[in-house]
Amino acid sequence: MSKEPQQPVLEPEEIAALMEKIAPDEETQAFFATLPPLPQPEEVGEFTYETEGPEGPERYPLYAAIQQNMAEHLREHCSDIFHRQISLDTESMGQEDYGKIISDENPQVYLVFECKGFGLMLVIVDTPLVISYVDALLGGTGENNEDMDELSPVEERLAERLAFSLKKMFEASWKPVEPIQFELIKVETDVEFLGVARDKEACFKTAFQMKFSKDVSGHLNICYPRTFLEPLLGKLRANTQETPTSLDEAWSKDLRSCLQQAPVELRLELASVGMKVRDFLALKTGDHLPIFKRETDTVTLWIESEPMFITMAGQHDGELAAEIVEIKPNGGKR
């Protein structure tokens, strides 16, 4: 049984169209006539261009700086609550779909915040961390590892204390970039009642690994929907390193010395006079120019093309001189 002829990747007409801009048709035909037959693949699938998703947190240096600031605030706050040093590490920082973020089957507490002008954002805390935190608030050690799967009504109400503390940390961390007011909307344990974003919406997620005691550890995840961050992305793209990490003092000293040796031209401008061309052409020896300026009026001293000083023209030791009476503001700008 004979094999069916293989379907070429490109039809002759397509090849001719591609070569049209390179050479005339007869030269194209002559060129391909010199080539040996090219093996063709048995199957040719439909080609699609790969499209990249929205840029993640790694493209926004200031976002990473805000999360680092948040980690420091959170570590310090929890250490104060537990009266001991708390372990906190940034486990990951990336971009995930909202639906995937809230699909964790472990018991979790969801803190929903609203920010005017930006929308909703979400904090997800493993339930054992919340129970341990509440226990420490009530004077306990926060080390009990029993019955840590569900919040009691009292624990759920006291979980708001954690939310209000997080609110202050968020506002302090964001303040250098954008002053944002965070308002707690709800404390929830059921993902069905969150409504923070659509399932397929991309979110920036920062996961902190926290350890309150030998037996109590878990995650605290901060999630910003892309729509929340959209108005801020221009600012977040800025580099946090605005100044050089080191300064070559010797080089700076040599540069200042060279600049101080550079010559400059000072020019004292007494006045300017406007006249018509016919009057200018009629000037002769002995004529006087009409300068409407009194002897007590100040005049400008220029450095190159910049007016730098206000001076009083006069004499000093029998020579014409200018006394500086004022330095022009704004660095000599006109």
Domains of the chain from N-terminus onward = 57-236 (3.40.1550.10), 264-332 (2.30.330.10)
CA distance 212 to 148: 13
Q: How far apart are CA 306 and CA 85, in angstroms?
A: 60
pLDDT at 299: 80
- Residue 291's pLDDT is what? 75
Nearest residue to 226 via CA among 65, 51, 69, 53: 53
Residue position matching structure tokens 């002769």: 284
How is 155-220 classified by DSSP, letter by letter? HHHHHHHHHHHHHHHHHHHHTTT----EEEEEEES-GGGT-SS-TT-EEEEEEEEEESSSS-EEEE
Looking at residue 243, its pLDDT comes to 46
User: 């000037």: which residue's tokens?
Assistant: 283
> Please, are residues 222 and 70 in contact by the beta-carbon 8 Å criterion?
yes
pLDDT tens profile 91-134: 999 999 999 998 877 889 999 999 998 999 999 999 999 999 99
Averaged pLDDT, 192-207: 91
CA 203 to CA 314: how far, in whole Å? 72
Whether residue 38 has pLDDT greater than 80: no
- Provide the terminal-to-terminal Cα distance of the chain, rounded to the nearest Å: 93
Q: What angle do CA 129, 88, 238 make, to 5 degrees?
A: 120
Instruction: Please give the model's pTM, rounded to 2 decimal places.
Output: 0.57
pLDDT the model gives residue 310: 84
Local confidence band at 245 (pLDDT 50, 70, 90 cut-offs): very low
> Minimum mean pLDDT among 98-102, 284-288, 305-309: which range?
305-309
Residue 78 has pLDDT above 80, yes or no: yes
Cβ–Cβ < 8 Å for 155, 128: no
Distances (CA, A) of 196 to 25, 180, 204, 232, 247: 61, 18, 13, 18, 47
| pLDDT of residue 203 exceeding 50 | yes
Q: Determine how β-strand 119-126 pairs with β-strand 202-211.
A: unpaired
Specify the range with the lowest mean pLDDT, choosing from 26-40, 42-56, 196-210: 42-56
Confidence band of 156 (pLDDT split at 50, 70, 90): confident
Nearest to 288 by CA among 298, 275, 306: 275
Kindly state the average pLDDT of the residues 215-231.
Answer: 93
**DSSP-derived 3-state class of residue 311:** strand
Mean pLDDT for 65-86 is: 92
The two tokens of residue 284 are: 């002769």
Residue 241 has pLDDT above 80, yes or no: no
169-189 pLDDT, tens digit each: 999 999 999 999 999 999 998
Q: Whole-angstrom Cα distance, residue 54 to residue 226?
A: 9
**pLDDT above 50 (res 244):** no
pLDDT confidence of residue 242: 47
